[in-house]
Structure 1
């Protein structure tokens, strides 16, 4: 062969002598815990400048022989794969033009090579891999139908990378779609990627197309995909490309796929919805021109008793806002009406009103509530669309809506610790119950926290709660154990770690030790502190400690999250009376099922 110093000459010789080499990467069937097949990856000579596929493709473009390279790689992989005696399907990458080329003779060339190599058509998968945009989707659709009729499977590669579009998926109707590795990498830590994958999986279900998740690099990513219901998986963790790959999945992969434990999914942030935009507050209201006589505006307010303010608008653009109460009260002054009835309303308006786009999130108006100028809460504000007037809103409705949002947000994530709140905890319990896996529901609560908070103030109280959250989370396996903050000084941990009981003991011991630094010397010396009890009487309290009620949950023991939460809360109450602050409501003690008459919801996870 030519010198490696001349890559182009080396490439031409390589292609002319059909000296391409191949490596094969396994693809796992997640549900069956077996090998689905292998993707063929072309390689140049070992140690040469053309070893990688990227360099081969670059040289092919320079030589004007890209189509020849693709064809040779496809047919060469078909010939090489059966010789390895590997199970499953062979996945081969092809561009749209080459798929159309192979369809011209109704797949005879492909089928002939497959027959000679001993590969049946139903084991061959052609992956549409596009480095350029598909120009003739209709022609490609016809070609794929021709090849599919001969028993060949068609797939779309790298869905979501910007080239493999949703339109191609719907129009071409492939039998398999491969999800781009970007969305898989770090999936277990990124709630945005998690939501994207969930959405694509729902789409795959609607379109009846199994999904291959590419780029899996560790057990955590595979576990999440398994729990989400993904069909197939590919990546270095499943198996690296090799000239002679293993014929079965590794023991590490089989352990993940066979595990009864479910992965802890990253908590999704509260999404902005239509009801969470300024449009939610908008009230349709008439507007007036700046030159309108004030007497006319007075009559308008009289005819519309529910109108709290009127916008002054010209050419559709807001100029100011006239508050009803201020205007009417002024008119009630002696001689005011006689002196001002003919004056234009622009002389009575607030010329610097707040204008908010109807699509803007409500959170964008938080500064109005926190600002020193409370006139804006009194006057209300103008709602616009692309800068043009569409209505008005009251300060009262803004306060109410923001309060509701804060309450809802706290149910999803505690604002102090940012740990998941009631709703995510309840959802995770439901996942554990549905998976019929064993776990431990442990309810942590601080002893004597309220009197501590009353004595030292909210800032020190918050520090105590944050210390508890930090210590609880530190002793949990973030991939197996779900940590939730369900309000005040109450935490719930759903353990799947086998040593969960020891972890709870370490949490109690460390917190009781470190919490002492949040007390003053006098309280430490006397072993407690004086504060008011719940009835308002002065009393002495021991130093703040943490208690944990533990419930070991076995498959089928509880019917719903409500029962689990009730059992954990009951165990916590007993733990708070225990000398060591720990109470295990174990199966060995014959814990009864705790039926309730209240409907299933997250209420049992609120502080007790």
Structure 2
């Protein structure tokens, strides 16, 4: 933790005394029902103030022994604003284990505040964050059980940021677990993150715990997470924190599509091959070669792309190295750059229905030498393009 000048303690005490803090809310959406399941209350200091940003605000409070006082004020302001806005769904508030452990932390304040602002206990979710780690796990567990006895729900925030995340899951038996942004970021390009996320969703289902994926910022992250079984989502892609938060589900995510085909219209538990799909955007047959070439140049990880017809049925594959070879000379570039991509594509020799059993696909692939050189294959849903899969990931599964 950083060392802060003593002046910061005075600045913080002044903010607390004057209650000069702003509460903003970020919605947490149910992506199946396409409506908010709740809102997380977040605190900001005054604009351009040294303590404007929450990480500095709470670190200073912890450093100077004012964390309990600050959290109680944040709680009061959050309840007040939540009631004023008459928000539907649950209210999520952050509580650090360090505050719960403090003997000076007043007990019974939360239920008094709920009664004061007319909020039912079952609407409140206590998010236990690992920002400041617990030193007495038994006290933390007892304190959270006290909240639970009042009818509140318990959530573990930022699963994965501290060493004790899974241990907390086992010992605290939370109602909700929020996955840390680190595992969400660029998950569509990272097979390790993808498999960890799949495991977390499966653990949630097995233990009856609701899983929230937070920090979603990219459309491709959202697509993958939804394919893996995500029901609850939070992040800038869906809505940013605001004094008057958004309650409408983002229109651009109502139909999460690749081309014209919805990629989430299958049961990943029933269809194993669906777990291996990478939702790579296809190109239409009349796209110019130069446009596809530039697509490859903008993404070093993309090795091939599917070509689809007007009905979104796959008709070919274009490989990065082959197209690069055609463009390697001035003559080749001049000859091909304005031609339609279907003039240079490789016709589809093999595609897999998303409901096909993995063992059948594996047997077919191992019996065909063509996959030694070109390991990617197309996955379809009732003949319509869904995405690409890779032989290596199939054989690993």
2:91 is paired with a residue whose SS is strand
The gaps in structure 2 that reach 5 residues or longer are 1-5, 265-271, 286-290, 330-343, 365-381, 384-390
Partner of 1:41: 42
Question: For residues 313-365 of structure 1, what are the alpha-carbon distances to aligned partners after superposition, in whole Å with 9 as ceiling and x for unaligned?
Answer: xxxxxxxxxxxxxxxxxxxxxxxxxxxxxxxxxxxxxxxxxxxxxxxxxxxxx
Match of 1:76 in 2: 77
What is the aligned partner in structure 2 of residue 249 from structure 1?
249
Instruction: Spell out the pairing of 1:435-454 with structure 2 (5 A cutoff).
Output: none
- The answer on whether the counterparts of 1:14 and 1:20 sit within 8 Å (CA) in structure 2 is yes
Q: What residue in structure 1 maps to residue 151 of structure 2?
A: 151
Task: Return the alpha-carbon distance in structure 2 between the equivalents of residues 246 and 98 of structure 1.
Answer: 31
Residue pair 1:186, 1:221 contacting (<8 A) in 2 also: yes
For 1:205 and 1:190, how far apart are their aligned partners in 2? Answer: 23
Which string of whole-angstrom CA distances, capped at 9 and with x for unpartnered residues, describes residues 21-53 of structure 1? Answer: 111111122232221111111111223222111
Secondary structure class of the residue paired with 2:262 = coil
**Mapping 1:62-101, distance limit 5 Å:** 62-99=63-100
* Residue 222 of structure 1: aligned partner: 222
Aligned residues: 332
Per the alignment, do residues 495 and 45 of structure 1 end up closer, same or farther by CA in structure 2, a change over 3 Å counting? Answer: same
Q: In the aligned structure 1, how far is the partner of 2:223 from the partner of 2:315?
A: 23
> How is 1:301-320 mapped onto 2 (pairs within 5 angstroms)?
none
Could you tell me how far apart the structure 1 residues matched to 2:294 and 2:152 are? 52
Cα separation, 1, equivalents of 2:136 and 2:255: 45
Question: CA 1:28/1:148 → structure 2, altered by over 3 Å: closer, same or farther?
Answer: same
Query: Scaled by the length of structure 2, what TM-score is found?
Result: 0.68
| Equivalent residue runs for 1:30-179 within 5 Å | 30-99=31-100, 108-179=108-179
Is the alpha carbon distance of 1:506 and 1:215 closer, same or farther for their aligned partners in structure 2, counting shifts above 3 Å?
closer
Q: Deviations over 1:187-210 (max 9, x none)?
A: 001111112212222322333211
CA distance in structure 2 between the partners assigned to 1:126 and 1:186 by the alignment:
28
CA distance in 1, matches of 2:314, 2:295: 10
In structure 2, the residue matched to 1:19 is 20
Q: Does 1:514 align with 2:326?
A: yes
In 1, Cα distance between equivalents of 2:200 and 2:348: 40
Query: Is the 8 Å Cα contact of residues 179 and 211 (structure 1) preserved in structure 2?
Result: yes
- Name which of 244, 253, 273 aligns with 1:427: 273
Q: Counterparts of 1:90 and 1:57 in 2: how far apart (Å)? A: 20
List aligned pairs for 1:179-578, cutoff 5 A.
Answer: 179-256=179-256, 261-262=262-263, 427-428=273-274, 504=316, 514=326, 548-549=347-348
Contact 1:79/1:114 (<8 A) preserved? no
> In the TM superposition, what is the alpha-carbon distance from 1:227 to its structure 2 partner?
0.5
**Aligned partners of 2:97, 2:238: CA distance in 1, in Å?**
28
Query: Which is higher, the Rg of structure 1 or of structure 2?
Result: 1
Q: Residue in 2 aligned with 1:374? A: none
Are the aligned partners of 1:212 and 1:231 in contact in 2 as well (CA < 8 Å)? yes
Distance 1:239 1:214 in 2: 11
How far apart, in 1, do the equivalents of 2:148 and 2:251 lie?
A: 35
1:438-466 Cα shifts (integer Å, max 9, x gaps)? x99x9xxxxxxxxxxxxxxxxxxxxxxxx
Q: Distance in 2 between matches of 1:38 and 1:173?
A: 22
- Whole-Å Cα distance in 1 between the matches of residues 138 and 309 of structure 2? 53
Larger RCO, structures 1/2 (Cα 8 Å, 6+ apart):
2
* Counterparts in 2 of 1:516 and 1:178: CA distance versus 1, 3 Å: closer
| Residues 50 and 213 (structure 1), Cα distance of their counterparts in 2 relative to 1, 3 Å cut | same
Question: In the alignment, what sits opposite 1:287?
Answer: none
After TM superposition, the structure 1 stretch with the greater mean CA deviation from structure 2, 203-212 or 71-80, is 203-212
TM-score, normalised to structure 1, is 0.46
CA separation of 1:503 and 1:98: change in aligned 2, threshold 3 A: same
1:469-507 Cα shifts (integer Å, max 9, x gaps):
xx999879999xx978xxxxxxxx766796757984988
Structure 1: 5+ residue runs without aligned partners? 264-425, 433-438, 443-470, 485-492, 518-544, 567-586, 592-601
CA distance in 1, matches of 2:29, 2:103: 28
